[in-house]
């Protein structure tokens, strides 16, 4: 059974990152860190509560991206453009969560011949 609190927490976190990005702050490093944390936490939740936690967050982000009433976002002179950027950000996060995680590269030092 998917925990609603888990889904809400990560959806809220990614929506807050979208608001920060809209405000002009650099969020890429924080975004990728949060995605990795979400994946790790979802693996743990799946083992304890049942499968589907990561997919549930991605689905909720897709739903959240279509909202037109957003209180976290500062709306400037063009609210429609701001909502479109927010939607694109959240859809991108959902796609990253849906995608297979990147495989870790080899660990070690490069040796020159």
Condensed to tens digits (0 to 9), the pLDDT of residues 75-95 reads: 667 888 889 999 999 999 999
Q: What are the residue ranges of helices labelled H in 1-113?
A: 4-22, 28-49, 53-65, 79-98
Condensed to tens digits (0 to 9), the pLDDT of residues 7-30 reads: 999 999 999 999 999 889 999 999
Condensed to tens digits (0 to 9), the pLDDT of residues 32-67 reads: 999 999 999 999 999 999 999 999 999 999 999 998
Interacting residues of 2 by C-beta distance below 8 A, sequence separation 6+: 49, 50, 52, 53, 56
* CB atoms inside a 10 Å sphere around CB 38: 22
């Amino acid at each position: 059974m998917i925990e609603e609190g888990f889904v809400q927490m990560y959806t809220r976190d990614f929506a807050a990152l979208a608001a920060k990005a809209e405000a002009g702050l650099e969020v890429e490093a924080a975004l990728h860190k949060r995605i990795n944390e979400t994946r790790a936490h979802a693996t743990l939740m799946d083992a304890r509560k049942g499968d589907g936690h990561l997919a549930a967050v991605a689905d909720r982000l897709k739903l959240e991206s279509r909202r037109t009433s957003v209180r976290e976002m500062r709306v400037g002179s063009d609210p429609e453009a701001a909502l479109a950027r927010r939607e694109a950000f959240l859809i991108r996060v959902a796609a990253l969560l849906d995608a297979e995680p990147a495989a870790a590269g080899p660990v070690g030092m490069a040796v020159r011949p």
